[in-house]
């Protein structure tokens, strides 16, 4: 079995998505997905650059090809490169499992759980509307709710956002009771001093975790925050490859690892990161704001990983790109279930690509009151 072709498709619905199809000389196709939203053209270019090193290779030599993709250009791939590698890597796991007639999770060690708990996104809105949305989600079976640290429209003033965030979590906790997990995503919007203020004020409200309370460029900022709060901290969605996870894991600065399979290096790298986390009793909570392939890959990892906590599920399977992916992973009442089909357990209709036009634009932006740029 040899790799015969690699094709990329950039499509849009709600947000842009980048998918890659790897096809073998005997007609087996694997599907992958890349992260780094709004930079899909750059990732597609990196995939194109990797293709000559992969054509004619045995797709079942996944670890070998991962090393080739990362290191063969001499300069190791950064985030754009890692996203490209991630997409191809996921497709290779899909091919290998399909060729053996088993679901991907069987190649990862088999099932360690029957179902995977998920959390949805609660859209930004007025507090009373968001509280009602959380009540409805809990009534529908979800055991977790997640929402963003508030901004003031397209402006974010940290002290105001911290106050509004605490008020929002307080209102939601009062509405849904003590047992439902609350996740608030600061989305790297705060500097350490403001993150400390937020986390300290949230301690009595018992959030499941605070996500990305500080920026990721300097990992020591997480350590600084860790010294000042007992609130569980979750980070990692922006990290590429195991090396960027090293310090937060080794220093025990995070409580939950937000590995993104479509940025960190695919299933191959995510398994290594999860194993590393296990030695520090850190559970994974994979980042997944993407499409059906990312969702499926995360599900297979979660099903076969003991130190798993909860799965982000921004888009319920079957409710996005439904014609492009006519079969998606099983979902019911806030949980995803193990697919029985070989590979990732999803189908990709390449003929439907033209129905999903490429989205123009860029990542949303926020600014401070003085006009200066701040993270979205």
Catalytic residue numbers read 187, 287
Closest CA to 210 of 232, 188, 187: 232
Query: How far is C-alpha 301 from the chain's CA centre?
Result: 12
| CB 215, CB 193: distance < 8 Å | no
Q: Is 68 exposed, middle or buried (0-12, 13-18, 19+ CB in 10 A)?
A: middle
What residues pair up with 332 in beta bridges, in sequence order?
A: 335
What is the spatial distance between Cα 59 and Cα 26, in angstroms, rounded to a whole number? 12
| CB 18, CB 86: distance < 8 Å | no
Q: Which tokens go with 97?
A: 């499992």
Q: What angle do CA 241, 251, 80 make, to 5 degrees?
A: 20
Which residues fall within 8 angstroms of residue 329, CB to CB, at 6 or more apart?
292, 295, 296, 299, 317, 336, 337, 339, 344, 345, 346
| CB 202, CB 183: distance < 8 Å | no
| CB 56, CB 18: distance < 8 Å | no
Q: Is 175 exposed, middle or buried (0-12, 13-18, 19+ CB in 10 A)?
A: middle
Q: If DSSP codes are grouped into helix, strand and coil, which group holds residue 32?
A: strand
What is the spatial distance between Cα 211 and Cα 22, in angstroms, rounded to a whole number? 34
Q: What angle do CA 217, 221, 238 make, to 5 degrees?
A: 35
HEC per residue, 294-356: HHHHHHHHHHCCCCECCEECCCCCCCCCCCCCCECCCEECCEEECCCCCECCCECCHHHHHHC
């Amino acid at each position: 079995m040899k790799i015969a072709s690699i094709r990329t498709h950039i499509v849009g619905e709600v947000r842009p998505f980048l998918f890659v199809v790897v096809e073998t000389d005997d007609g087996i196709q694997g599907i992958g997905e890349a992260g780094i939203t709004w930079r899909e053209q750059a990732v597609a270019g990196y995939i194109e650059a990797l293709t000559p090193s992969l054509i004619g290779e045995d797709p079942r030599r996944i670890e070998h090809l991962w090393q080739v993709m990362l290191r063969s250009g001499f300069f190791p791939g950064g985030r754009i490169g890692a996203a490209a590698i991630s997409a191809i890597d996921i497709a290779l796991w899909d091919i290998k499992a399909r060729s053996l007639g088993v679901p991907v999770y069987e190649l990862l060690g088999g099932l360690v759980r029957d179902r995977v708990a998920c959390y949805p996104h609660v859209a930004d809105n007025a507090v009373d509307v968001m509280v009602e949305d959380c009540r409805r989600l809990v009534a529908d079976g979800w055991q977790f709710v997640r929402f963003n640290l508030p901004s003031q429209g397209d402006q974010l003033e940290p002290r105001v956002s911290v106050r509004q965030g605490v008020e929002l979590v307080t209102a939601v906790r009062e509405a849904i009771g003590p047992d439902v997990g609350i996740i608030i995503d600061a989305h790297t919007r705060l500097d350490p001093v403001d993150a400390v203020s937020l986390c300290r004020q949230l301690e009595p409200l018992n959030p499941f975790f605070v996500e990305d309370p500080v920026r990721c460029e300097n990992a020591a900022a997480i350590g600084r925050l860790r010294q000042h709060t007992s609130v569980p901290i979750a980070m990692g969605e922006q990290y590429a490859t195991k090396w960027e996870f090293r310090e937060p894991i080794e220093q025990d600065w995070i409580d939950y690892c937000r590995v993104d399979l479509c940025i960190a290096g695919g299933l191959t790298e995510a398994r290594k990161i999860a194993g590393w986390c296990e030695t520090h009793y850190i559970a994974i909570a994979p980042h997944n704001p993407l499409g059906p392939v990312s969702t499926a890959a995360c599900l297979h990892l979660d099903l076969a990983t003991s130190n798993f906590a909860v799965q982000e599920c921004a888009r319920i399977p079957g409710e996005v790109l439904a014609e492009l992916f006519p079969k998606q992973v099983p979902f019911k009442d806030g949980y995803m279930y193990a697919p029985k089909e070989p590979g990732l357990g999803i189908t990709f209709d390449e003929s439907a690509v033209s129905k999903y036009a490429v989205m123009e634009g860029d990542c949303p932006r926020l600014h401070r009151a003085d006009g200066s740029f701040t993270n979205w």
